[in-house]
Chain A
């Protein structure tokens, strides 16, 4: 039996449907992420799991028991808030002790559990500090410790890394993965940052306009996006209009106007004559100076339009002969070199026959 089961949950605010008949089941020990742009319904869904809000219809079951009539304080579910929500008038130790006190633990047990929790988040010497005396990352760790100290069945995390700078965020991501592994607590994580979701999660539900667009493992979400929204929202992807010429069990043959035939991996439900896009990730596109040594089926000529240097890699934007543009990513393996191609260079781009993906309109 799943630990948490969300069954046909709908929540409306006036005419606006924030969560539209959503069903998810989350297993014990999982690191589950709700990913989507702001306003997609992920926060509303989280608030209903926590008990701050109630669904208009549907059920939320924890260990098979419907939670709708259980108030927030009686649910074995704790939340880490985006603003951390530490109690400003209590010390770090008192903040962490709070859920234990509410659960009626003995003073001795509280003391030792708080010490353990402080050790777990490497804040052993900070117990007597007040939250305002801590840095953002330290506050964040106190919030994790407070959420985990009473071993909830489920920990909800509402964009907890949103307020941290990029470097610290990466450190906290690693810390979060370790915490979750060590504690064995099930995490439901909310974020709009797709790279964070990919890095942390066992499974991701991509949400848009109150619906789940795709629910899968990170590598499948990235590699096999189910529709254009998911493809576009997760990572970078180039899309070229195409029509299906041939739909074989082993591959698809697509016609791209002004360019020619493209081979793509086969996909269920695609029929000859379907229109849509051929989508391909920049790192799957090979770019080279004219010389054609390639045995790859998909190869075309183009011209470098521009590039984006970000240090480790450079993305080249190539205009194909039919006017469509495609991005190709190249690691900057030669030290001190920002680019291997100049804008205006004629180039050849190619990709494997099983690299792209066809997405119906």
Chain B
């Protein structure tokens, strides 16, 4: 092995250790037969069982799923439209307009949306406000993925469709949409994963009534990091990971999120 390689390993190993050991610990302790996250006692599934009997946790999970599905659905449609528009109209300000929320600090977006909902729209905070907030910050991601796909395509394909007698709408339905579909689905899955584990924006835009999963987890660890929290975190991790893997299989630009 060459010398430079050894040094690269010295850099890489600690980085990956810091990234993944905490995650592994969470997963491992979710199966630990002990109330404390201190030592390994034995294997159990009882924390998962407890989780499914925890009414508040289930409600939080259901709420989060409703929000994630609705927000990613809206964001996918709007983001696809934005991606198409950015690609087609080559307007300088349009990408800035669409992609800015992606780069914006979440706390800023959270505060801004909160003020907007309360003071301008006079909206009662609740599920609706969270869905709108999540849709806003997911649009940019969906648009980036769709645009990246369009950039890699031969422009004359769309001209060929028109040339051969297809109206603009037929061209979209029969040619454009099927060709960008992998990116559209990937954008949707991406939005879903962003929405389901979002804490900051949710925290600002949620009402008092309904529990939301990331916030529920936070409330629970304020008391103590119980194995139940490990269990729900493991499940969340599994869901997110699956979505990201499917999305990146569909469209490679998913893993380049936030970049041009």
Contact = CB atoms under 8 A, between A and B. Distances in A.
Interface in A269-284: none
B156 A85 contact: yes
B163 interface: yes
Contacts of A51: 162-163
A79 interface: yes
Given A85-B154, A87-B175, A102-B170, A150 B160 contact: no
A73 B167 contact: yes
Contacts of A307: none
B13 to A, nearest CB: 41
Given A83-B154, A88-B179, A89-B178, A103 B165 contact: yes
Contact of B165 (A81, A85, A150): A150
Interface in A39-98: 50-52, 71-73, 77-79, 81-83, 85-89, 98
B210 interface: no
A187 to B, nearest CB: 15
Q: Which of A77, A89, A147 has the most CB of B within 10 A?
A: A89
Contact of A79 (B154, B163, B174, B179): B163
Q: Which of A52, A81, A146 has the most CB of B within 10 A?
A: A81
A356 interface: no
A72 B154 contact: no
A89 B162 CA distance: 17
B34 to A, nearest CB: 54
Contacts of B156: 81-83, 85
Q: Which of B159, B163, B170, B179 has the most CB of A within 10 A?
A: B163
A73 B166 contact: yes
A160 to B, nearest CB: 12
A168 B179 CA distance: 30
A50 B157 CA distance: 14
A51 B167 CA distance: 13
A78 B166 contact: no
Nearest to B179: A89
Q: How large is the interface on A (under 10, 10 to 19, 20 to 34, 35 or more residues)?
A: 20 to 34
A165 to B, nearest CB: 21
B170 to A, nearest CB: 7
B163 A72 contact: yes
B161 interface: yes
A50 B170 contact: no
Contact of A146 (B159, B164, B167, B175): B164
Q: Which of A77, A81, A85 has the most CB of B within 10 A?
A: A85
Interface string A100-116: 00110000000000000
B175 A102 contact: no
Contact of A73 (B154, B157, B162, B178): B162
Q: Which of B156, B164, B174 has the most CB of A within 10 A?
A: B164
B239 to A, nearest CB: 30
A102 B161 CA distance: 9
Given A83-B154, A89-B179, A52 B165 contact: no
A19 to B, nearest CB: 18
B47 to A, nearest CB: 46
Given A85-B154, A87-B175, A98 B159 contact: no
B159 to A, nearest CB: 6
Contacts of A225: none
B159 A52 contact: yes
A114 B260 CA distance: 42
Interface string B247-258: 000000000000
A87 B157 contact: yes
A99 interface: yes
Closest 3 CB pairs of A and B: A102-B165, A85-B160, A99-B164
Interface of B: 154, 156-157, 159-167, 170, 174-175, 178-179
14 contacts: A51-B163, A52-B159, A52-B163, A71-B162, A72-B159, A72-B163, A73-B164, A73-B167, A81-B156, A82-B156, A85-B156, A89-B178, A89-B179, A98-B174
Interface of A: 50-52, 71-73, 77-79, 81-83, 85-89, 98-99, 102-103, 146-147, 150
